[in-house]
Each structure stands twice: as structure tokens, then as C-alpha cells.
Amino acid sequence: MDKRTIARELAMQAICQLDVQGGDVLGIIERFFAENSDDGLVLSLASDWTKGTWRNLASCDQLISQAAIRWELSRLSLVDKSILRLAAYQLKFCSEIPPKVVINEAIEIAKKFSGISSAGFVNGVLDAISKGLKNVKNDDKDENA
């Protein structure tokens, strides 16, 4: 399995833990990563993505809420919410990762860790987020022209 895929899976699981236990466990989340991988790249990416998502949780949740029409964030399963939060963070703040990669990886994680209909739901929400972010970037370019 690709190292970035492993890092995404670990980050999603850590975000779930943070959602349940609260941000106080952020300081010891590295132990969770070390118990599940000894690869430096995996550990670094999982840590960076988890901490980045958690620091920008309000922004990620806003993106999800705007894109998940007729779905309140509180109604989403913990796993789906964590998948979406990580992917929303990567779409907005990790410009070095192509949006298609973020979306495809999130879909695969949903297939592996969540319910049967989750992959389609995750795809729809993330596609809407990606398009919305692209429109904002295009609007910014138009204003600066």
C-alpha cells in the first residue's frame, strides 16, 4: 500500500479519536502513529495532516456543511465526518495534492472503513467542496487581473 494512503488512513483514525476524546489527546497522538507504522514519511504526513485538520476544524466543518446539502454535520457518522474533514483540509490547505487524488483517496478510505453508501456520499460532498474552492480561486484571480 502507498505510504500516503497509509498516512491518510492513520490521520482519519486519529481525527476520529480527537473527535471522541477531545483535543487534549493531540499531544499523545504520535504514540498512536508509532504503534501503527515505523516509516518516517508515514508518521510525518499522518501527524501533519491530523494536526492541520484539527487546527482548521471550523473551516473544514464549514466547507462540509455548505456542500452536504440536507445533511447536518451532527448527523454524519464519526468515520464519514473524519474522512470528510481530512479531505476538506487537504483540498483547501494542501495545494500540492491534486484534488482528484484527495477525492479518490477519500472514496477508497470510505469503502474500507465505512458503510456501503458512504463512498458515493463522500464523493458528492468532496466534489462540491472542490468545485466551490476552484470557483473562489477563479474569482480571486479575476479580482487581481
Per-residue pLDDT, 138: 58
CA dist., res. 28 & res. 14, Å (int): 10
What predicted TM-score, i.e. pTM, was given to this entire model?
0.91
What is the Cα 39 distance to its own chain's centre? 21
The CB density around residue 128, as the number of other CB atoms within 10 Å, is 16
pLDDT digits (tens, 9 = 90+) for 61-103: 999 999 998 888 889 999 999 999 999 999 999 999 999 999 9
- CATH code of 3-144, in short, is 1.10.940.10
**Residue 141 clears pLDDT 80, i.e. is over it:** no
Contacts within 8 Å (CB) and 24+ apart, 39-46: 39/3, 39/6, 41/3, 41/7, 42/3, 42/6, 42/7, 42/10, 43/7, 44/7, 45/3, 45/4, 45/7, 45/8, 45/11, 46/6, 46/7, 46/8, 46/10, 46/11, 46/14
**Residue 140 clears pLDDT 60, i.e. is over it:** no
What residue spans define the domains of the chain?
3-144
Per-residue pLDDT, 137: 65
Per-residue pLDDT, 81: 97
Return the C-alpha cell found at 110. Answer: 470510505
Average pLDDT, the chain: 92
CA dist., res. 33 & res. 20, Å (int): 17
Angle at 102 between CA 98 and CA 107, to 5 degrees: 145
Confidence of residue 105 (pLDDT cuts 50, 70, 90): very high
pLDDT digits (tens, 9 = 90+) for 8-54: 999 999 999 999 998 888 888 999 999 999 999 999 999 999 999 99
**Residue 127 clears pLDDT 60, i.e. is over it:** yes
Return the C-alpha cell found at 135. Answer: 470557483
Per-residue pLDDT, 71: 85
**Residue 144 clears pLDDT 60, i.e. is over it:** no
Confidence of residue 143 (pLDDT cuts 50, 70, 90): very low
